[in-house]
A and B are shown apart, each in its own frame.
Chain A
Amino acid sequence: MVNDQTPWRCSSPCIITSIVEANITELLASARQGDRDSGRRVMELVYSELHRLASGYMRRERSEHTLQPSALINEAYLRLIGDAAPSFQSRSHFYVTAAQVMRRILIDHALARSAEKRGAALRPVPFEDALVLAQDNAEHLLELDIALDRLGRLDNRQRQIVELRFFAGLSVEETAQTLGISDKTVKRDWAMARAWLEGELRRNP
């Protein structure tokens, strides 16, 4: 068992950036060809990058900076791909992946919240407190996550639109560009998906 008692401190941000940049465009390309491993790897890279960027924001500015998911994704894109000028498909694939990743980050958050809540309920709290289980957005978010998977089985593009709009915060126009479809189609698919998801949220307490 390693028992390193020396306090370890990271005095300056020791960040490995180069591993990442070298091959993401290649990974994106092979992911598009259907290589699952590359797809997963892209996802993990994007996940890590988003995390890193977001914590950077946290450290730099606490209240001034408005941290929008879309801004974060744009920045991740610039950092990971930069001016490698990938094909439209790769760029689009990146954004779709980033939206999925954003979804995962938020769902992780929701899961942790509900785990925390369940854990907390086990502590000897006054009984009344334990009874008043506040309705929490975390639960709704988890329901939404499940519903979104079901939606994806009915219409995968509609799922992507929801992810891009809802989780990545892209505008109608940006979503349309990313997916290579018309604004009108995005609006229509979004309106209906939103209504349907609303129904699912209401159905699943």
Chain B
Amino acid sequence: MTPERWQRVKELFDGAIAVSPEQVAGHVSRAAAGDDAMEQEVLRLVALHRTANPLIDQVQPDVEMLRQTIHNRAFRIGQTVQGRFAVTAFLGEGGMGEVYEASDLQLDESVALKTVRVDQAADPKARDRFRQEIQLARRVTHPNVCRIHDLSETVRLDGQPLLFLTMERLRGEPLSVLLRRDGARPAAEVLAIARQLANALDAAHAAGVLHRDLKPANVFLEPRQSGGSDVRAVITDFGLSRPHVGGHASETTNSAMFGTPAYMAPEQIEEGRVSIASDLYAFGVVLYEMATGGLPHESSSPMALAVKKARHAPAAPSSRGVAGLPAWWDAVLLRALSVQPEGRFASAVEMVEALEGVLTPAVVAAPPAPRRRQWRLIAIGAAMLLLVASVAVWQPWRGQDAYRPQREALEWFTKGEAALGEDAPYKASRLLERAVRADALWPVAHVRLAQAYWEADRMEDAREQMVRVSTLVPDRSRLANRERLLIEGVQLLLVRDFDNAAARFGGLQDTAGQVDRGKALALGNHTEEAVALFEQLARQAPRDAAVWLHLAIRQAQQQTLTPALNAFQKAEELFRLDSNLEGVTSVILRRSRALQMTKRLAESRAEVEKALELAVTTGAAHQQAQALSQLAALASLAGQTAEARTLADRVLQLAAAERMPALAVAALNGVGAAFLAQLNYVEAEGWFRRALELAARSGLSLGDATARLNLAQALVRQNRTAEGLQLAAAARKYFEAGNYRDSLVSTYGLITDAAIQDGRNDEAARASEGRAHDAGAGGLSRRDPAGFSVTGAVSAGWPPLTGPDQSDE
């Protein structure tokens, strides 16, 4: 976006919010005069302008924030401390304490006063230790290290002791601010800064001083006195460092208390071991971040981060989408971030020389394969086990009346049930089919299989399994309580009585049962309740990937993307820990859909591509098909008709080969819906006709009804009202019988719309359509199963389109 274009967007936006909501789309389209990107941007802004609960209102600064900011400051402006330092300004606040500018009245120069956090100041022993460390740190005199003058002590107004450092007054900005604002730095700039930091670090190490908390927030970029564009990079907070003896920290440290996990070496996080090597690791992270704009490992929790760091090499810098990185930097930075300390470079300067390309390839490449330290992983594993132990586990069929299945069946069943939790109904179907084959007399396996079929949109097969159950269990009263609840719950699901199904599943005490309850709640449009339940489960069973996945799915449904992305992340990490790549794929697919729903199309596409690659690796055909059909939908949203065709054809082939017609129908409906959202009715019509034909041929009644409704939408918008109404009526009958509430709302909306359109002009019809929809949707959560909500004003008036997500409904 250029400033000139921005002004144009502003003009169009101004015009668009002046017209009535029904006219926005038309107005903007005319005003944009064929500039699609402009049109999209304006519509996006108009929609955001009308958002009901804007996030921005939640962050509105208020009195309380000011109060907290100012409350309990160590110094006041104008105060003279110890008769020597006249405090002139408050400069900021960081992890270590507050920073003030003061005038040193004795030496007549400007200095910085940095307070030391209370917990360190309060304990006399800690204070003495701190004092010794400062003495040591002061031994480092280097142009790229912030000079520390003194450590002083005074008393706060409230009588608490107050420690503060006087140090060089830096006037530049922290590297962290620069990175946050401007992202990755060009290679030349990385090298210029890296070289200075390396000199400083090596000098400190030579003096026996470790930094222990090197990170961009502790690096200041000072403008040179002489002016010019280059900067002096200065490392601050060496004050936290300790003397290192033989490369190991003294035992007095409680060093895990210090430091910032994102920059800490794995051994520092896990064992609090600090050394030159851990400082160099942090330096590597800083370089990585400068080069790519991102951290090598991202994680929402320190624990997960520790595990990641100990187990996985970071993504290669070149894979982070930054142009212009020298080819050999991947090898250098990955070596700098070796899990094993002995795998890293010997000094900071050596690392920078490797970046500069001065060193031979032999030095750059990782040294001889380090021994894999199993014990570390074991330690982590043990910690995890403790956590898992607190989680309720599925203990199938204990108790006198419970059926005892064959062992083989139990094994397949357990896996199949897990797959159900993982949002992988196709995989679950296959596993549970094997369970049923291994033990055909076990009712619960049939029930779960029915559920899996139902979720995979194989209604007939699901019913058949339930029939088996009733022949196996003629008298339910003799069943164990939980068997009975499960059977009834699934039966209610099949007739789409979600509220009662949720109540039955609620009686199951284990996590899997509660996950089922949450799914039923969400299907019954109690999204909030479902989210609350999954949140609670996530607290109780934080190692259960399925719980996080479902939490994320429902949060995304609520359009709260931030927590949803966190939860997806959690789920992904946990699946990865389990080496469950299909689970990981499920997460990525769902995340891509959530991103698509919030219009983050580029990210959405990147995710699907990742999912596709994974699905090809694992050979999971249904996930490949899902990814391809999602890609097809994205292509059609971007107006790439040919691309969408090619992709959809691949889905059809896969679906045919793997006998997954429901997926193929969903894909066709999805691509059509995306074209409909593009207002390309003719193209959309073609896709829906194919969907309808395939659904009819494969006997898929839901796919059939969905295609009919979609086709009706495309026709009505082409003014072929009578034809459209006929199709809509058929769809309506099916949706009514099956209690498909969201689809019904859409159908009613369309029927009202078409009726009005028959007699009146187009504008009037569109308005009434919106009303009819809103009236119909009253009390229901607004959902868009296809995830193709049209940008802004258009979607506000339109009924949701039904697409590839139909298996959820």
> Are both chains from one complex?
yes
Q: How far is the CA of A110 from the CA of B218 in the complex (A)?
A: 18
| Smallest CB separation, A135 vs chain B (Å) | 6
With A4-B154, A146-B181, A197-B56 in contact, is A130–B566 under 8 Å at CB?
A: no
**Residue with the highest number of chain B CB atoms closer than 10 Å, among A119, A146, A149:** A119
From the candidates A5, A47, A105, A169, name the one contacting B153 in the complex (CB within 8 A). Answer: A5
Selected interface stretch from B82-90, B330-338, B577-585, B714-722: B82-90
Residues in chain A near residue B46, CB distance under 8 A: 195
Residues in chain A near residue B804, CB distance under 8 A: none
From the candidates A115, A144, A153, A166, name the one contacting B94 in the complex (CB within 8 A). Answer: A115
* Contact yes or no, B55 A201, CB < 8 A: yes
Residue of B nearest to A192 (CB): B13
Q: How many residues of B contact A (CB 8 A)?
A: 82
**A79 at the A/B interface (Cβ < 8 Å)?**
no
With A10-B79, A121-B261, A123-B257 in contact, is A51–B90 under 8 Å at CB?
A: yes
**A194 at the A/B interface (Cβ < 8 Å)?**
yes
B 425-440 binary contact with A (CB < 8 Å = 1; else 0): 0000000000000000
| Smallest CB separation, A107 vs chain B (Å) | 9
* Contact yes or no, B55 A198, CB < 8 A: yes
Selected interface stretch from B2-10, B232-240, B277-285, B650-658: B2-10
* Contact yes or no, B93 A144, CB < 8 A: no
Residues in chain B near residue A68, CB distance under 8 A: 63
* Contact yes or no, A131 B301, CB < 8 A: yes
Residues in chain B near residue A84, CB distance under 8 A: none
**A34 at the A/B interface (Cβ < 8 Å)?**
no
With A111-B94, A137-B58 in contact, is A14–B302 under 8 Å at CB?
A: no
**A33 at the A/B interface (Cβ < 8 Å)?**
no
**B191 at the A/B interface (Cβ < 8 Å)?**
no
Residues in chain B near residue A116, CB distance under 8 A: 95
| Smallest CB separation, A198 vs chain B (Å) | 5
Residue of A nearest to B7 (CB): A155
Residues in chain B near residue A130, CB distance under 8 A: 301-303
| Smallest CB separation, A124 vs chain B (Å) | 8
Residue of A nearest to B100 (CB): A48
* Contact yes or no, A2 B82, CB < 8 A: yes
* Contact yes or no, A10 B303, CB < 8 A: no
From the candidates B54, B71, B257, B539, name the one contacting A58 in the complex (CB within 8 A). Answer: B71
**A154 at the A/B interface (Cβ < 8 Å)?**
yes
* Contact yes or no, B58 A140, CB < 8 A: yes
Residues in chain A near residue B474, CB distance under 8 A: none
* Contact yes or no, B261 A16, CB < 8 A: no
A 129-148 binary contact with B (CB < 8 Å = 1; else 0): 01111010100111010100
Task: List which B33-49 residues lie within 8 A (CB) of chain A.
Answer: 44-46, 48-49
| Smallest CB separation, A125 vs chain B (Å) | 10
From the candidates A48, A72, A123, A167, name the one contacting B77 in the complex (CB within 8 A). Answer: A48
With A14-B78, A155-B6, A166-B60 in contact, is A55–B73 under 8 Å at CB?
A: yes
* Contact yes or no, A155 B3, CB < 8 A: yes
Q: How far is the CA of A8 from the CA of B82 in the complex (A)?
A: 7
* Contact yes or no, A118 B17, CB < 8 A: no
| Smallest CB separation, B238 vs chain A (Å) | 16
* Contact yes or no, B56 A154, CB < 8 A: no
* Contact yes or no, B56 A194, CB < 8 A: yes
Q: How far is the CA of A155 from the CA of B271 in the complex (A)?
A: 50
Residue of B nearest to A134 (CB): B563
From the candidates B44, B66, B82, B135, name the one contacting A105 in the complex (CB within 8 A). Answer: B66
With A121-B301, A154-B1 in contact, is A109–B65 under 8 Å at CB?
A: yes
B 591-602 binary contact with A (CB < 8 Å = 1; else 0): 000000010100
With A2-B152, A201-B55 in contact, is A9–B301 under 8 Å at CB?
A: no
Q: How far is the CA of A199 from the CA of B9 in the complex (A)?
A: 15
* Contact yes or no, A1 B150, CB < 8 A: yes
Task: List which B297-340 residues lie within 8 A (CB) of chain A.
Answer: 300-303
* Contact yes or no, B61 A69, CB < 8 A: yes
* Contact yes or no, B561 A205, CB < 8 A: yes
Task: List which B212-269 residues lie within 8 A (CB) of chain A.
Answer: 256-261
Residue of B nearest to A4 (CB): B82
Residue of B nearest to A52 (CB): B77
Residues in chain A near residue B73, CB distance under 8 A: 51, 55
Residues in chain B near residue A14, CB distance under 8 A: 78-80
Residues in chain A near residue B261, CB distance under 8 A: 118, 121-122
**B14 at the A/B interface (Cβ < 8 Å)?**
yes
* Contact yes or no, A154 B3, CB < 8 A: yes
* Contact yes or no, B90 A47, CB < 8 A: yes
**A60 at the A/B interface (Cβ < 8 Å)?**
no
* Contact yes or no, A132 B54, CB < 8 A: no
**B51 at the A/B interface (Cβ < 8 Å)?**
yes
Residues in chain A near residue B697, CB distance under 8 A: none
**Residue with the highest number of chain B CB atoms closer than 10 Å, among A133, A144, A198:** A198
Task: List which A184-205 residues lie within 8 A (CB) of chain B.
Answer: 188-189, 191-192, 194-199, 201-203, 205
Residues in chain B near residue A133, CB distance under 8 A: 300-301, 566
Residues in chain B near residue A192, CB distance under 8 A: 9-10, 13-14, 45, 49
Residues in chain A near residue B562, CB distance under 8 A: 135, 202, 205
The 6 closest A-B pairs by CB, nearest first: A205-B562, A15-B78, A195-B49, A195-B48, A48-B77, A109-B69
Interface residues of A (CB under 8 A from B): 1-5, 7-10, 13-17, 44-45, 47-49, 51-52, 54-55, 58, 66-69, 72, 102, 105-106, 108-109, 111-112, 115-116, 118-119, 121-124, 127-128, 130-133, 135, 137, 140-142, 144, 146, 149, 153-155, 166-167, 169, 188-189, 191-192, 194-199, 201-203, 205
Given A121-B261, A192-B9, A196-B45, 15 other A-B residues pairs in contact with their CB atoms under 8 A? A2-B82, A2-B84, A2-B152, A4-B154, A8-B155, A9-B155, A14-B80, A45-B89, A69-B66, A72-B66, A112-B93, A131-B300, A140-B58, A196-B48, A199-B44
13 interchain pairs (CB within 8 A)?
A4-B152, A7-B154, A105-B66, A111-B92, A112-B93, A112-B94, A122-B258, A127-B303, A130-B303, A133-B300, A196-B48, A203-B598, A205-B562
